[in-house]
Amino acid sequence: MSEKTKRTLPASPSGRDRMAAPGPALTDTLNRPLRDLRISVTDRCNFRCTYCMPKEVFGREYQFLDRADILTFEEITRLARLFVGHGVRKVRITGGEPLLRNDLEKLIAMLARVDGLEDLTLTTNGSLLKSRIRDLKQAGLQRVTVSLDSLDNDVFKAMNDVDFPVERVLEGIEAAVEAGLAPVKVNMVVKKGVNDDSVLDMARYFRERGWTVRFIEYMDVGSSNGWRLDDVVSAAEIVKTINAEMPLEPVDPEYRGEVAQRYRYKDGSGEIGVIASVTQPFCGDCSRARLSADGKLYTCLFATKGHDFRALLRTGKRDDEVAAFLRSVWKTRDDRYSELRATATPSLPKVEMSYVGG
């Protein structure tokens, strides 16, 4: 059953008719086009979110990628151009923490010049945003998503595990709004018994400011966060909690493959999104590929193995040869991990989100 048909407050199917204008796109074995590319620019992070990079695993001894192994800006841009030539319309820069990558503004400027790329966006923990956002915007960044898991300092600090205060993330978000990047989206991963008490506070605070919060079900990415199904707060529960205080109604998806289910406040004061990857998987419309910082392409967040594009670039392959490899990878893609989650083999080694990019 698709994500849309499962919704408790049903949306009109007409949302599918309002997809982004399709250009030539590759399709995979399940007829899903390649539309979105998430590019991880570093596997490092200055936070140690317990659900992503727990300190016990990502400690002092952890071997992050060597600088020489990481794609250069020229390599990333070359690949982005080839991907756009095969249907990608949206690029999201991510990580690790993407603002830890030196001179990220330069990469943004290079990507902003790629013909046919319609949406250039960034996901960040917000810690370094305040001082960088103007330059990023000037370089051509169109939108930004900031992750924030609670407005309660104790809860947030326990989750980022580096004692980072809420206030500084809020300053980053405000700086983004001032720089003209509104509406900013805010991502909150909800973990049962950890920050589920913060859901209403987050909804209230950002509703007043007209910024959209996207509540994300805690996912079983990687193999280091000790995920258990019992820790997941379902999107349906989140919607129910908010709806009880601030009535909501569903909004049609803007385009096929939209990850978040959208709801608006009935009084017209804005909207929220919920990302129900665990309880209502949306593999059927998944048009995303992920490029790791060292140039491996993952066709699913839960893939166990990436396709090595860096090797092609660094052995002097021509554009048409790299493009042929891309076509062969996407055309044979059959991933639908979230839909198979119950029956799949969760014991297989999975890549970490901080490496492949969320």
- Residues that bind ligand SAM in the complex, under the rule CB under 6 A: 45, 51-52, 94-95, 97, 123-125, 147, 187, 189, 216, 218-219, 221, 225, 353-354, 358
- Tokens 């805690």: give the residue: 218
Total chain residues near ligand SF4 (CB under 6 A): 24
Nearest Cα residue to 160 out of 56, 60, 52 = 52
Q: Does 300 bind ligand SF4 (CB under 6 A)?
A: yes
Q: Which stretch binds ligand SF4 (CB under 6 A): 85-93, 137-145, 294-302, 322-330?
A: 294-302
Residue 336 within binding range of ligand SF4, rule CB under 6 A: yes
- H or E element that contains 180: none
Nearer to ligand SF4 among residue 324 and residue 340 (C-beta) = 340
For 218, the enclosing helix (H) or strand (E) is none
Closest contact distance (angstroms) between CB of 319 and ligand SF4 is 27
Residue 111 or 286 having the CB closest to ligand SF4: 286
What's the CA gap between 292 and 163, in Å, rounded?
28
CA distance 32 to 40: 22
CB-CB contact of 249 with 266 (8 Å):
yes
Of 162 and 244, which CB lies nearer to ligand SF4 in the complex structure? Answer: 162
Residue from 211, 263, 337, 355 touching ligand SF4 (CB under 6 A): that is 337
Q: Which residue spans within 206-348 are E strands per DSSP?
A: 212-217, 248-251, 261-265, 271-275, 288-291, 296-298, 307-308
216 binds, among ligand SAM, ligand SF4, none (CB under 5 to 8 A by kind): ligand SAM
Residue 141 interacting entry, from ligand SF4, ligand SAM, none, C-beta within 5 to 8 Å by type: none
Token digits of residue 21: 């204008």
Question: Using CB under 6 A, which residues numbered 29 to 58 contact ligand SF4?
Answer: 45, 47-49, 52-53
Instruction: Find residue 237's DSSP bridge partners.
Output: none
Question: One symbol per residue from 146 to 165: x for binding ligand SF4 (CB under 6 A), - otherwise; what is it?
Answer: -x------------------
Task: Return the residues of window 193-222 that contact ligand SF4 according to CB under 6 A.
Answer: none
d(CA 196, CA 352): 24
The CB density around residue 15, as the number of other CB atoms within 10 Å, is 18
CA separation for the pair 232, 23 (Å, rounded): 37
Q: Where along the sequence are the contacts to ligand SF4 (CB under 6 A)? A: 45, 47-49, 52-53, 95-97, 125, 147, 281-283, 286, 288, 300-302, 335-338, 354
